[in-house]
Chain A
Amino acid sequence: MASITGAAAPPREIQGRSLWQDARRRLFANKAAVTSMVILAIVAFLSVVMPFVWPHQFDQVYIDRISCPPPDYLGMTAIFGSQADACPSAVGQGHIFGTDANGRDLFIRVMHGGRVSLSIGVTATFVALLIGVLYGATAGFLGGRIDNYMMRFVDVLYALPYIFFVIILVVVFGRNYILMFIAIGAVEWLTMARIVRGQTLSIRRREFIEAAEAAGVSNWGIIRRHILPNVVGPVIVYVTLTVPAVILAESFLSFLGLGVQEPATSWGVLISDGKDQMESYPWMLIFPAAFMVVTLFCFNFIGDGLRDALDPKDR
């Protein structure tokens, strides 16, 4: 606000705000999104660091501490029962989430599972991103008949209930879980390709593309330098929504017994094991489920926040 009394305040230099600065400002004004980012960062940090510093290993079995409830000082004895009564040998050993049915520390398993689930989420999304963006940009850029055929192929894959596809791929690849990421990613790219193609089609007709063509830039150069940077917005939004979808898909596969193999674990595996024990040992379900649900919540809020921040309709 300019002061009226000061006769000639030196004119403040007006700084242009780029699209991205605008978006960032809007995103950081969104409390839910910011909180989610902080929580997510904490969860990710814990999952990465804890396996190095925690006194227990994720595959270490304590035969005398099978299905021990969390320690009494957490104040949850009403639901879980008392650790001191059920497992005197576990008291003071730092099993803050109790132990699982095989006598392994549940906290470190949840952390280890988080590592696996998050990396599956990120890797599969990256695969989906790579395939989807390249495919969509190519189809949208080339246009015409090639576009038509390429998009028909996407429609065909859409008609295949995708979980069947994943199950078949998992069966084909065996249970190697690195390949599992790729299998899920190879299925999740369809929507990405559609989004990118739509954006590309609309950008394709702009003058700056024409200018680049006139200047003799190669097709690939135009896609890389001019089209891809312009589709980044919707793609980022979709990426934040794909990660939770992938984590859910992984947990679904784990439920069907097609997921990560013992002794390695993931949130899906822990939840799936925990639900079999929930009547007598509810903590085995509650802790991994809480971590997974909170993480999925965070991703969804961040996705919503990004959409609001990047959506040109609201400007």
Chain B
Amino acid sequence: MLRYIVRRLLGSIPTLLIIIAMTFFMMRLAPGGPFDQERRLPPEIEKNIKAAYDLDKPLLRQFLDIDPEVCSIRFGATATPEWLQKRGLTQTPEGKFFDGSGREARCLGGYLGKLLQGDFGPSFKYKDFTVAELIADGAPVSLRLGSTAIILATIIGMLLGTFAALRQNRWPDYSTMTLAMLGITIPSFVMAPILTLILGVYLGWLPVAGWEDGAFRNMILPVIGLALPQIAVISRLTRGGMIEVLRSNYVRTARAKGLPERLVITRHALRSALLPLVSYLGPATAGIVTGSLVMEQIYGLPGIGRYFINGALQRDYTLVMGVVILYATLVIMLNLVADVIYGVLDPKVRYD
């Protein structure tokens, strides 16, 4: 098992690298740049700004820029004065090298190089912040919202699905499944404002927007908006799995030996009926992430989603990259978790 996890973790590194490269080059292909404005900047200023953000280098070197000479110094060689002079560099007491215009010469440079050293770079649009700071600012909100929604969706979806499966082809089944279909087909950005209108405006029970540091009252509406489509999918999955399991021989055996129905369901049927749900964990995360873009917009929440959209529109390259990397890592990890849980629940699956 441990070997499997380690292998999967190692296997996800190239995946992440490809995603990073693809996003990087796609963003750069987009017409327009982060410093395009209505009024053109004077050329010198534009040149300086571009230099400050490394945008003046060739695209490939913006992505990854390895300086073998600096690297050899990092790994033991000494920086001779002749070399410093030839390269036009000055050495700081900490052992860093800067050229005449104040740009650091790094062993591993470029976006990827800095990223490998844990540096997401500065944001182009939120001038005084690094991308890491912006993410650290927004991520707790988005994660809290998302995880609450997914837990809620799993519990309610499972209950509804089981309920429908136990009354297959009777009215409780039909009505639950029609509701589920509605949940899938009505876009969350329609559902959420309607709920807000009823619960927030007409009845005045809940605040219509705002976060208030994650107060319970403020979380209810966005969490419901996020969870509803997932509840719909999860209840359909549970129902499908349950119906199949209830026809199986071992459930018949369990019933034949006189086990109370409640125990047949909870001890025997539910376990394998949940398998399709576990593989849905990855897609569900992606769905929640998408949904949270909408909810953050509707309720004005200080999460990551708004950074992403503003970032993409304003060509804030580093910010977009940071958010994509964060979410891709999240999805990859949750897929791994799903596979591991799958193995625990299903004894037929063996990891070597």
Determine if A39 is an interface residue (Cβ-Cβ < 8 Å).
no
A residues less than 8 Å from B332 (CB atoms): 159
B197 interface neighbour in A169, A248, A251, A278, Cβ under 8 Å: A278
Q: In the complex the two chains form, what is the Cα distance from A172 to B32 in whole Å? A: 9
| Number of A-B residue pairs with CB-CB distance less than 8 Å in the complex they form | 106
Q: In the complex the two chains form, what is the Cα distance from A297 to B185 in whole Å? A: 7
Tell whether, in the assembled complex, residue A256 and residue B19 are in contact, meaning their CB atoms are under 8 Å apart.
no
User: Which of B23-31, B47-55, B96-104, B220-228 lines the interface with chain A?
Assistant: B23-31
B residues less than 8 Å from A244 (CB atoms): 185
Determine if B1 is an interface residue (Cβ-Cβ < 8 Å).
no
A169 interface neighbour in B12, B14, B26, B293, Cβ under 8 Å: B26
A residues less than 8 Å from B185 (CB atoms): 244, 248, 293, 296-297, 300
Nearest-CB distance from B225 to chain A (Å)? Answer: 12
Determine if A272 is an interface residue (Cβ-Cβ < 8 Å).
yes
Nearest-CB distance from B351 to chain A (Å)? Answer: 17
Determine if B313 is an interface residue (Cβ-Cβ < 8 Å).
yes
Tell whether, in the assembled complex, residue A161 and residue B190 are in contact, meaning their CB atoms are under 8 Å apart.
no
B297 interface neighbour in A158, A168, A256, A279, Cβ under 8 Å: A256
Tell whether, in the assembled complex, residue B290 and residue A161 are in contact, meaning their CB atoms are under 8 Å apart.
yes
User: Which of B63-71, B123-131, B323-331 lines the interface with chain A?
Assistant: B323-331
A164 interface neighbour in B187, B315, B324, Cβ under 8 Å: B324
B residues less than 8 Å from A272 (CB atoms): 189
Q: A160-B324, A163-B293, A297-B181 are in contact. Are A255 and B19 (CB under 8 A)?
A: no
Tell whether, in the assembled complex, residue B15 and residue A156 are in contact, meaning their CB atoms are under 8 Å apart.
yes
Q: In the complex the two chains form, what is the Cα distance from A289 to B190 in whole Å? A: 8
Q: In the complex the two chains form, what is the Cα distance from A297 to B181 in whole Å? A: 7
Tell whether, in the assembled complex, residue B189 and residue A289 are in contact, meaning their CB atoms are under 8 Å apart.
no
In B43-87, the 8 Å CB interface with A consists of none
Q: In the complex the two chains form, what is the Cα distance from A161 to B329 in whole Å? A: 10
Determine if B201 is an interface residue (Cβ-Cβ < 8 Å).
yes
Determine if B320 is an interface residue (Cβ-Cβ < 8 Å).
yes
Tell whether, in the assembled complex, residue A161 and residue B286 are in contact, meaning their CB atoms are under 8 Å apart.
yes
Determine if A124 is an interface residue (Cβ-Cβ < 8 Å).
no
Q: In the complex the two chains form, what is the Cα distance from A268 to B189 in whole Å? A: 10
- A 137-178 binary contact with B (CB < 8 Å = 1; else 0): 000000000000000110110111111100111011010000
A271 interface neighbour in B16, B187, B309, Cβ under 8 Å: B187
In B303-346, the 8 Å CB interface with A consists of 308-309, 312-313, 315, 320, 323-324, 327-328, 331-332, 335
Q: A171-B313, A172-B26, A293-B182 are in contact. Are A164 and B327 (CB under 8 A)?
A: yes
Tell whether, in the assembled complex, residue B308 and residue A255 are in contact, meaning their CB atoms are under 8 Å apart.
no
Determine if B193 is an interface residue (Cβ-Cβ < 8 Å).
yes
Tell whether, in the assembled complex, residue B320 and residue A168 are in contact, meaning their CB atoms are under 8 Å apart.
yes
Tell whether, in the assembled complex, residue A271 and residue B190 are in contact, meaning their CB atoms are under 8 Å apart.
yes
Tell whether, in the assembled complex, residue A168 and residue B294 are in contact, meaning their CB atoms are under 8 Å apart.
no
Q: In the complex the two chains form, what is the Cα distance from A155 to B332 in whole Å? A: 10
Q: Which residue of A lies closest to B202 (CB)?
A: A279
Tell whether, in the assembled complex, residue A252 and residue B290 are in contact, meaning their CB atoms are under 8 Å apart.
yes
Tell whether, in the assembled complex, residue A252 and residue B187 are in contact, meaning their CB atoms are under 8 Å apart.
yes
In A250-270, the 8 Å CB interface with B consists of 251-252, 255-256, 268
- B 179-197 binary contact with A (CB < 8 Å = 1; else 0): 0011011110110011001
Q: Which residue of A lies closest to B294 (CB)?
A: A255
Q: A171-B313, A278-B197 are in contact. Are A252 and B189 (CB under 8 A)?
A: yes
Determine if A226 is an interface residue (Cβ-Cβ < 8 Å).
no
A275 interface neighbour in B26, B190, B293, B312, Cβ under 8 Å: B190
Determine if A285 is an interface residue (Cβ-Cβ < 8 Å).
yes
A residues less than 8 Å from B201 (CB atoms): 279
Determine if B265 is an interface residue (Cβ-Cβ < 8 Å).
no
A255 interface neighbour in B189, B197, B320, B331, Cβ under 8 Å: B189
> Footprint of B on A, CB under 8 Å?
152-153, 155-156, 158-164, 167-169, 171-172, 174, 244, 248, 251-252, 255-256, 268, 271-272, 275, 278-279, 285, 289, 292-293, 296-297, 300
With A271-B190, A297-B181 known, 5 other A-B pairs at CB within 8 A are A161-B328, A167-B308, A167-B309, A172-B31, A278-B194
A–B pairs, 24, beta carbons within 8 Å = A153-B18, A156-B18, A158-B331, A159-B16, A159-B19, A160-B324, A161-B286, A161-B289, A162-B286, A163-B286, A164-B323, A164-B327, A168-B312, A171-B313, A172-B30, A174-B31, A248-B185, A252-B189, A255-B187, A255-B189, A256-B293, A271-B190, A296-B184, A300-B181
8 cross-chain pairs, A with B, having the tightest CB-CB distances, nearest first: A296-B185, A172-B30, A163-B290, A255-B189, A275-B193, A156-B15, A161-B286, A159-B332
